[in-house]
Structure 1
Amino acid sequence: MSPTGPAARASATQQLRAATGSLGTAAMARMEADRPWFREMSAEDRSWVGMIVQAGVKSFVDWFADGGGSDIGDDDVVIEVFGVAPRAMAGVVDLHQTVDLIKLTIDEVEANIARLVDPDVLAEIHAAILRYGREIAFATAEVYARAAEVRGRWDARLEALAVDAVLRAETDESVLSRASAVGWTARGEVAVVVGTAPAEASGQQTGVFEDVRRAAKEGGLDALSAVQGHLLVVILGGVTAPEADAASVVHLFGEGAVVVGPVASDLSHAHLSASVALGALRAAVGWPHAPRPVSAHDLLPERILAGDETARLEAIEEIYAPLNDARGELVETLVAYFANGGGIEATSRSLFVHANTVRYRLGQIGDLTGLTPSVPRDALVLQLALVLGRQGV
Structure 2
Amino acid sequence: MQQSKQQELAWLRKISGELATQTIATLEETLPWYGAMPPSRRSSIGLVAQSGISSFIAWYEDPTSTPWVAADVFDAAPRELLRSISLQETLQLIRVVVTVVEARVAPKSEQLREAVMHYSRDVAFASADVYARAAEARGLWDARLEALVVDAILTGEADEELPSRIAALGWHGHGEAAVIVGTADRNVDIDQIRRTTRHRGADVLIGLQGKRLVLVIGRAEAGSQDGEHPADDNTPSFHEIAERLSEFFVDGPIVVGPTVPNLVEASKSAHAALAGVAVARAWRAAPRPVAADDLLPERALAGDSLARATLIEQIYQPLKSHSPELLETLWCYLDNGRSLEATARELFVHPNTVRYRLKKVSEVIGWNATGAREALILQSALIIGSIAPVPAKRPLRRPKA
Cα deviation, residue 144, structure 1: 1.4
1:196 and 2:183 are equivalent in the alignment:
yes
2:91, 2:345 → 1: CA distance?
A: 84
Superposition deviation, residue 300 in structure 1: 1.6
Contact 1:23 1:108 in 2 (8 A): yes
Aligned residue in 2 for 1:145: 132
State whether structure 2 residue 87 is matched by structure 1 residue 72: no
- Structure 1 residue 48, shift from structure 2 partner: 0.6
Q: How many residues align?
A: 374
1:319 aligns with 2:311: no
Distance verdict in 2 for CA 1:38–1:212, change over 3 Å: farther
Per the TM alignment, residue 58 of structure 1 is displaced from its structure 2 partner at its CA by: 1.9
After superposition, residues 1-393 of structure 1 pair within 5 angstroms as 5-66=1-62, 68=63, 70=64, 72-73=66-67, 75-78=68-71, 80-115=72-107, 117=108, 121-122=109-110, 124-184=111-171, 187-200=174-187, 208=190, 221=202, 223-238=204-219, 241-244=237-240, 253-266=249-262, 268-287=264-283, 290-339=286-335, 341-344=337-340, 347-349=343-345, 351-392=347-388
Q: Structure 2 CA distance, aligned partners of 1:252 and 1:72?
A: 47
CA deviation vs aligned residue, 1:70-109 (integer Å, no higher than 9, x gap): 4833x5433x201111111121112222122222322333
- Measured in 2, the distance between the counterparts of 1:132 and 1:90 equals 21
> CA 1:32/1:288 → structure 2, altered by over 3 Å: closer, same or farther?
farther
SS of aligned partner of 1:173 = coil
Q: Relative to 1, partners in 2 of residues 1:249 and 1:148: Cα closer, same or farther, differing over 3 Å?
A: farther
Higher mean displacement: 215-224 or 143-152:
215-224
1:47 shift after superposition: 1.1
Return the offset for 1:8.
3.0
Looking at structure 2, the residues matched to 253 and 109 of structure 1 have their Cα atoms a distance apart, in angstroms, of 57
Query: What is the percent sequence identity of the aligned residues?
Result: 42
| Residues 150 and 322 (structure 1), Cα distance of their counterparts in 2 relative to 1, 3 Å cut | same
Q: Residues 226-254 of structure 1, C-alpha deviation per residue, up to 9 Å, x if partnerless?
A: 33343233444456554356668666555
Please state whether the residue corresponding to 2:208 is helix, strand or coil. strand
Provide structure 2 residue ranges, at least 5 long, that are not aligned to the other structure. Answer: 222-236, 390-401
TM-score (norm 1): 0.81
The two structures, once aligned, show a CA RMSD in angstroms of: 3.2
Deviation for aligned residue 1:336 = 4.0
Contact 2:203/2:218 (CA < 8 Å) preserved in 1? yes
> Any gaps of 5 or more consecutive residues in structure 1?
202-206
8 A contact 1:198–1:255 mirrored in 2: no
- Deviation of 1:211 after TM superposition, in Å, equals 6.3
Give a deviation string over 1:21-44, Cα, whole Å, max 9, x none: 333333333332232222221111
The one-letter code of the counterpart of 1:284 is A
Task: With the length of structure 2 as denominator, give the TM-score of the two structures.
Answer: 0.79
Report which structure shows greater RCO (CA 8 Å, sep ≥6): 1
Name the CA distance, whole Å, in 1 between partners of 2:100 and 2:185: 51
